[in-house]
Every structure is written in C-alpha cells, then in structure tokens.
Amino acid sequence: MSLHISSAGFTLVGHSRIRSVASEWESSATVKRVEDKVNLGASGLKVTTLGIGAWSWGDTTYWNNFDWNDRKEKAARDAFNASIDGGVTFFDTAEVYGSGLALGAVNSEVLLGRFIKERKEKDPDVEIAVATKFAALPWRFGRQSVLSALKDSLCRLGLDSVDLYQLHWPGVWGNEGYIDGLGDAVEKGLVKAVGVSNYSEKRLREAFEKLKKRGIPLASNQVNYSLIYRAPEEKGVKAACDELGITLIAYSPIAQGVLTGKYTPDKPPSGPRSRIYTPEFLTRLQPLLNRIAEIGKKYDKTSTQVSLNWLITQGNVVPIPGAKTAEQAEEFRGALGWRLSDDEVAELRSLASEIGPVVGFPVENL
C-alpha cells in the first residue's frame, strides 16, 4: 500500500533570490501577529495561517533519494527552527512517515519530537502546534485501535497530548469505530482537536455528524490541493468544508515542488515523482509556470510564494508545504502578508484548467 499522502514539496531558488527572501522575511513587521493565526474549524484550536509538513523527514521510500543521513537530519532541524523563528509554528506529521519498515528510515514523529525537545530547552515558552495521524490499516479495528496508536505516537513525539489528531485515510472497514476513537481521544484530554484526511464529501459529512452528536467539532480535512490538483473543488469537498465550518488543510500545495518552477521537461523530478510529473506533463505545464513567474516579479515574490498565496486566497485553507531546509521554510513565509488580485487568481485557475488532470491518491475515492 502506498503511504505517500501528506504535505510535501520543496523549493530551490538562486542564491541571490534566497538572500532576498531571507532579508524580506527577517524585516517583516507582521511575522508574529495574531492575524497570522486561524481557527481550525469550530474546535477553538488556533494555528498559523501556513504550516509545515514533515512527510519527507526521515523518509527513504519517496523522498531523499531513498537515503536518510545526519546531514539531512540537520537540514530538517534547521527548517524546523527557521519556521518557528519566522512565526510558523504548526507542524504536521504521521505515524507512517519514515516508517520503520523502510531501510534506513527514521520515524518523522521521532524527529519532530526531538526537534521540539531541543527547541524547548532553549526557549521554554515557545508554543508549537503538532498534528499527527492514525493509519487506518486493515488489521486495525474499533475505537481502541485509535487510542492505542495515538498513545504510541505521543510516545514517539515525547508529548502528553497533541493539538490535532487525524484519520490519515478512510478505512476499508471500521470507520465508525475510528470516529468513535477520535471522540474518545478528545474526552480523555489526549488531543485538543480532531480531523480527517483524504475524506470524500460523503465520508466527511458522515464523520461530521457522528462527532456532532457527542458535541465534538470536526476541525479539519487534510487533502491534496494545489493550483494543478483541484479535486477538492471538483468533487465537492471544499464546498462541504466551507458549509460545515471545517478547515481544509492542503497537503502537496506546491505539487511536490513542481510549482516552484525548478523542474522542466529536460529536468524532471527524480524518484517516484517522475512517474507523475513526466516530461510530457511538464511541457503542458510551462505556460502556467511562466505566468506564475511573471506575476511573482510584479510582487517581488517567488513562484512558490505565488502558488501558496493562490491557495490561501481560496479561503478556509491552511497549506502545509514540506520544508527540507531553512531556506525553504523562510521562503514559505513570504506567501503571507499580501494577496493576489481576483483577476490573477482567476487567470491562474484558467491556465491550470488547460493542463489536464494530475494523478491523486486512490483512497480519496473510497
């Protein structure tokens, strides 16, 4: 079973642009204002307008060229600290990221827990919002499986509770028990809020209603959503989130790095991503990428920042791009504090619509 389903994407830009982004970011007067936080649904939990996904941390099956080492761990640690220094304090991980079943992998929850502990030793008052996920594996049944998995995650993270606990994908069976488990976790004080991930409109409404009967709000639905993957809009998920007051958390918001402009038909991404973002697809993508870059120049923003801002302008969306380095984390922050015009938002959508579909994760259709 493929487990490649969370927030990810990366960005590399020229050295001069990195310096420019860093300087702009450090000088921003809005870095830690309350306006940079939003409510997750009706849960009462506030998180930063943009978060960081930790899918790539420790992974050797999809990211990191199948290799994890001390240098990459240091880079991930730097990304974590740079995010917090810039006021971005919401981090998303999962029990299956960096699975112990993969050779050389290190569990992402373990790494995030390690980074949090180190940071708190230096800055005890720092507030960090942590989200993680339950894997709906076929051999897991009932509400107790959710609580057991959550306690294991807390152990790996080194925390007494997490801010947001999510069902990573719909189970083949046992979903009602899983939803019961989420409610139990809230009532036991193990989590502040609960959500789902990769849920269709129908399943989302069912989960919302089941938790509502216990007086527990469904805070979020984390789905694949970007300028070139708009299935949440097309299949009614985004509209349902808006209607029910559920926050949409967008993973792969820069399409696993493709919307950064780094990749070309002659230089496609490596590894498993090459099967999705082929030279043929990247050829069709070039007019959109060119226009994103043009708009970015108007605002003195990178393509990454324009792509993230496009998502934020949709409303009720918290993007969680994956950060492998401090430079990427700093660049993401530049997506905040400004806004594309309505005409630009519509133009980019129109150009993206001409490209054709991108492959998503099959469980979205369960």
How far is the C-alpha of 76 from the C-alpha of 56, rounded, in Å? Answer: 9
| Residues 195, 249 contacting (CB under 8 angstroms) | yes
Phi, psi of 143, rounded to the nearest 5 degrees:
-65, -30
| Angstrom distance (rounded) from CA 150 to CA 94 | 10
In this prediction the pTM is 0.89
DSSP for 182-223? HHHHHHTTSEEEEEEES--HHHHHHHHHHHHTTT--EEEEEE
From residue 128, alpha-carbon distances to 206, 303, 330 in Å are 30, 28, 17
Sign of CA dihedral 338, 339, 344, 348: positive
**277 counts as catalytic:** no
Tell me the C-alpha distance between 304 and 328, whole Å: 9
Q: Is the dihedral of CA 104, 11, 360, 53 positive or negative?
A: positive
**In 3-state terms, what secondary structure has residue 281?**
helix
Alpha helices in 215-325 (DSSP H): 231-234, 237-244, 279-299, 303-312
Beta strands at 37-39 and 46-48: parallel, antiparallel or unpaired? antiparallel
Catalytic residue among 62, 97, 165, 229: 97
With residue 319 as reference, give the H or E element that holds it.
strand 317-319
Concatenate the DSSP letters of all residues of 29-93 into one string: TTTT-GGGEEE-TTS--EEESS-EE-SSTT--SSSGGG---HHHHHHHHHHHHHHHHTT--EEE-
At 287 the pLDDT is: 96
Calculate Rg over the CA atoms of the chain: 19
Q: 195: closest CA among 159, 223, 221?
A: 221
Among 59, 181, 64, 42, smallest CA distance to 109 is for 59
pLDDT score for 16: 37
Q: Is 24 exposed, middle or buried (0-12, 13-18, 19+ CB in 10 A)?
A: middle
Cα–Cα distance for residue pair 134/149, rounded to 1 Å: 7
Give, in degrees to the nearest 5, the angle at Cα 125 between 122 and 130: 95
* DSSP state, residue 315: S
pLDDT at 361: 63
Residue 265 DSSP symbol: T
Q: Which two tokens stand for residue 260?
A: 């950064």
pLDDT score recorded for residue 274: 86
Helix (H) / strand (E) element for 166: namely strand 162-167
Residue ranges for the chain with pLDDT beneath 70: 1-35, 63-66, 100-103, 359-366
Q: How far apart are CA 184 and CA 106, in angstroms?
A: 29
Written as one letter, the residue type at 36 is: D
Residue identified by tokens 């189970």 is: 171
Three-class DSSP category at 290: helix
204-240 tens-digit pLDDT: 999 999 999 999 999 999 999 999 999 999 999 999 9
